[in-house]
Amino acid sequence: MFDFQLDNIVAWIRDGGYTSVALQLPEGLKIRATEISDYISEHTGADTLIVGLPCYGACDLYDYKGKTDALVHFGHSPIPSQGEDRNVLYIESRSDADLDGPILDSLETLPEKVGLLATIQYLDLIPKVKGILEASGRKVSVGKGDLRIAYPGQVLGCNCSSAESVLDDVDAFLFLGEGDFHPLAAAFGVKKDILVLNPVTKEVRNMAEIRDRILRKRFAAIQSAKGAQSFLVIVCSKIGQNRSAEADRVIERIRSRGLKAYKAVMEEITPISLMSYRVDAYVNTACPRVAMDDSAKYDRPMLTLTELDIVLGDREWADYEFDQIRPGC
């Protein structure tokens, strides 16, 4: 079960004297939006505005100003480098899942030096799992990420700096979370085994196979972009995905090769939003996972920034690097 902290939200709205509040939920939690809205209205009298736009992370924090007094953002932690706003409350929706038995079953697959990672929903399990692993004689490290990361051990789909910070101290990482999206960021970003322990299904699996399958597709996309004469360099207007300065640098580099480059700003990157542009390839400076995970949806190759390096001959495939979004974007 995920904790929505409804009473904390009510207290925060009352203490802040807010009369209107926007509610922003990621796709998987939108099913709870009307129920949360009802609870808040009944207990505070505040007007609520459900944000119906797609939401995939705190990187696309809704711009509530001028529409409501405050914003409650569900399902993600703050991104510290985006700055603080006392009128924004983050409800991280942490899970109360427990892990006693299955962690013992998975011990045999773990080496002596282990790094622990998690999604925001399962961060509370880290101290307990750390204790269990240490009791088994292992050395456990929990890394501190850069300023895009709110908590030790936390991984975003575009940033695995928590793993990078302890890379030399571990033989492999144990990732606590559901789904492939977040563990894949670690698998792309560090050259160590990433074992995933799903706290709900209790399943343990290695990310190597799916990582290699996606990287083979990235190799194909890079190869097919090598003959491109024109590139659409995409900049996203969302606060935590906007790498406009990077886009300008990339455009200069493309043009210096005698190739054409165009800068385009968009809110949502979808096959329909790109279909009108007459270019040979896309360079995506927004969320790197759009190119990496969803490439099959696009009719032309879409590259991350580090993949463009390979296309331009400035990097070898052997030095492939995950295009992470760093603080300050």
Complex with ligand SF4: residue 24 or 106, whichever CB lies closer: 24
**Alpha-carbon torsion angle 83, 89, 92, 94, nearest 10:** 140
Q: Which positions touch ligand SF4 (CB under 6 A)?
A: 56-57, 59, 156-158, 240-241, 287, 289, 325
Q: Which residue has the tokens 């360099």?
A: 233
Tokens 């962690």 belong to which residue? 103
Task: CB nearer to ligand SF4: give 171 or 294.
Answer: 294
Evaluated on CA atoms 86, 88, 89, 93, the torsion sign reads negative
Check if the beta carbon of residue 118 is closer than 8 Å to that of residue 92: no
Shortest Cβ 106–ligand SF4 spacing (Å): 26
**Closer to ligand SF4 at the Cβ: 152 or 240?**
240
Minimum separation from the CB atom of position 17 to ligand SF4 (A):
31
CB of 22 or CB of 325, closer to ligand SF4: 325
Residue among 255, 256, 233 nearest 245 (CA): 233
Q: How far is the CB of 324 from ligand SF4 (least distance, A)?
A: 9
| Residue of 78, 68, 1 whose CA lies nearest to 37 | 68
Task: Return the residue matching tokens 């939003």.
Answer: 273
Task: For the CB of residue 284, give the shortest distance to ligand SF4 in the complex, in Å.
Answer: 11
Q: What is the nearest approach in angstroms of ligand SF4 to the Cβ of residue 191?
A: 20
Strand partners, 204: 197
Q: Report how far residue 123's alpha carbon sits from residue 127's, in angstroms, rounded to the nearest whole number.
A: 8
Q: Which is nearer to ligand SF4, 40 or 287 (CB)?
A: 287
d(CA 230, CA 239) in angstroms, rounded, equals: 27
